[in-house]
Amino acid sequence: MNLTHLDEKDRPKMVDVSDKEDTTRVAVASGKITMSQVAYDMIVGEKSKKGPVLQTAVIAAILGTKKTSDLIPMCHPLMLTGVNVDVDEVPELPGFKLSVTAKLKGQTGVEMEALTGVSIGLLTIYDMAKAIDKSMVLSDIQLESKCGGKSGEFKRS
């Protein structure tokens, strides 16, 4: 299998998608952040001196999704039609699960956008709580599902 981001001389390139059909494409990604009980309680109780942690993480995840092509060299700038972010409390960790759904009608997929959004959202939680707990762990950042495009559907089992 050839890597699509290398040309015939093995030089990096951005894939040409100009001949591809526009299709509706949706990707869902998720990840977790695990932390101390003290940090978790501070976030859930909205006691952070830096402001509302989870609301800020949602905004950061949306921004990260939109800015993916500025961060990942071979990603195309995309006209996203929707970005949805969910943050779930996971007291047994303790921590949070953050999910991003990215959507567009276009010539290339949105998996990288969803994954970048998750990463930026989780990093924002870390940033806003690191004064309480520097040992937090980001984990399980993964694509949950995608649909649309030539490669069809994917759903993590």
d(CA 55, CA 44): 11
| 127 is annotated as an active-site residue | yes
155 alpha-carbon distance from chain centroid: 16
Q: Considering 16, 22, 41, 127, which one is annotated as catalytic?
A: 127
d(CA 21, CA 82): 19
Q: What is the sign, positive or negative, of the torsion defined by CA atoms of 131, 132, 137, 141?
A: negative
Q: Active-site residue numbers?
A: 127
